[in-house]
A and B are shown apart, each in its own frame.
Chain A
Amino acid sequence: MPEVQPKQKRKTDIGPPHYEKFLPPIIKENYGKWKYHEVLKPGVMVTVSETGARLYTVRAGSPRLLSIDKIRAYADLADKYCNGYLRFTSRHNVEFLLTDESKIDPLIRALDALGHPVGGMANSISSIVHTQGWVHCHSSATDASGVVKAVMDDLILYFTEMKLPAKLRIALACCLNMCGAVHCSDIAILGIHRRPPKVNRDRLKATCEIPSVVSACPTAAVRPVTVDGQPSVEVIEERCMFCANCFTVCPAMPINDPLNDGVSIWVGGKVSNARSEPMFSKLAIPFIPNNPPRWPEVVEAVRNLVEVWARNARKYERMGEWINRIGWPRFFEMTGIPFEKVHIDDFKHAGTTFKRSTHLTY
């Protein structure tokens, strides 16, 4: 820990700046007075106040990982087109907040020139919420940014157009910790480990507290042992479902395995309450090996899911709502995904996921 400069009075617990400092005048004047909004074209929306004021939003996609040079470029665009006011969305898009309608198209052209497509509104695929992957995470079972880039290169027309039956939300998490909480997405790409952790005894002794490592395991696969008179732990391999919780608690339990780590794909989750209640995503494709730099098998699998859904879903029907209507047997048939043993839940309360009726299609 570096020494603190005594001459400088440290400020702490000041919290974030108050958001009002960053709101454009039109928002301050119409805060809480908005009447309706309308998507004018892909990535462009007008929000109309009861006072008649019109706020235009232009939304552009982003890789989330941004250099300060790019942020400065955003700032320059904001100065040029909207008096310096911009915001970011929960899905990493950048939004420019305009009051002058005539500046919308020039801004779109400038964003295109900068390499940032405008879109991601209404019945489209918005940016993929994702995690750090190999760029910055120690427990990642796959890269995040690379997979996202390859998938979005392939699906970009679904971002810049609004031709889908409903919105489609894709998310990627590079391990089960799910920093991106992907478990309620239309399509979730999830990095998975498939081999048990290896115990590094010397490091374990130096850095980890054995009772915490043992209690970290949700299936009691980690148990204390004495090796050469030294306390340590062992892993009962057949009980391990590769969650890596022990590795999070104790760095001496590495679980990463280049040969066996990879990607699984989950479908049909949603968080919105619109029409149907929020739902978890369910397992569609258990495992696809990592194939950097462009993960072609993942790209192909995601495209297939998007297209089968887009062709068959009714207007407003999210992925999960479509599957609930047609049933899982038809989902597997239509997507051509083989149904395997691992699709059947065998963890806690698995029985509630079995089909308990004769409501079947033939």
Chain B
Amino acid sequence: MAEQVTVQEVSDAMYKMIKDSMGQKKWKATDLTKAVTELFGDRCNKDLTKAAIRDLIENGKCVYTYFGGSFIEIPHREGAEN
């Protein structure tokens, strides 16, 4: 069996995906899970992706947002707040 990736590697990969597509694509938790599962194959699993999302949020690198559905984004001041 392939060696598992670390939570850090998964959250770094997720962060890069979010950063690289800012303004073009909003990511849902399920989208991120699918994308990293594709990237790491069986070296990744659900517990890892869950922990990685929690890591991104709790370290303040990303926040949950709501626009008719919940997304994970890099924090920004929202239009309404300005």
Interface positions of A (Cβ within 8 A of B)? 1, 203, 206-209, 211-212, 216, 245, 248-251
Contact = CB atoms under 8 A, between A and B. Distances in A.
Contacts of B63: 1
A77 to B, nearest CB: 38
A212 to B, nearest CB: 7
B38 interface: no
Given A1-B60, A207-B78, A249 B68 contact: yes
Contacts of A216: 68
Interface in B39-82: 60, 63, 67-69, 75, 78-80
A212 B26 contact: yes
Contact of A208 (B60, B67, B69, B80): B67
A209 B79 contact: no
10 contacts: A1-B63, A203-B79, A206-B79, A207-B78, A207-B79, A208-B67, A209-B26, A211-B25, A212-B67, A251-B80
A361 B53 CA distance: 63
**Considering the complex of A and B, which 9 residue pairs feature the smallest CB-CB distances, nearest first?**
A249-B68, A248-B68, A209-B26, A207-B79, A249-B67, A206-B79, A203-B79, A1-B75, A209-B25
Nearest to B66: A248
B31 to A, nearest CB: 12
Given A212-B68, A250-B68, 12 more contacts: A1-B63, A206-B79, A207-B78, A209-B25, A212-B69, A248-B67, A248-B68, A249-B69, A250-B67, A251-B67, A251-B79, A251-B80
Interface string B1-45: 000000000000000000000001110000000000000000000
Interface of B: 24-26, 60, 63, 67-69, 75, 78-80
A245 B68 CA distance: 8
B29 to A, nearest CB: 15
A208 B69 CA distance: 13
Contacts of A212: 26, 67-69
A209 B24 CA distance: 6
A134 B69 CA distance: 22
B62 to A, nearest CB: 11
Nearest to A138: B80
Q: Point out which of B60, B68, B69 has the most chain A C-beta atoms below 10 A from its C-beta.
A: B68
Contacts of A209: 24-26
A177 to B, nearest CB: 10
Contacts of B79: 203, 206-207, 251
Contacts of A206: 79
Contacts of B68: 212, 216, 245, 248-250
B72 to A, nearest CB: 13
Contacts of B78: 207
A248 B67 CA distance: 6
A209 B71 CA distance: 12
A309 B80 CA distance: 47
Contacts of A248: 67-68
A193 B60 CA distance: 39
A200 to B, nearest CB: 10
Contacts of B24: 209
A201 to B, nearest CB: 13
Nearest to B78: A207
Nearest to B63: A1
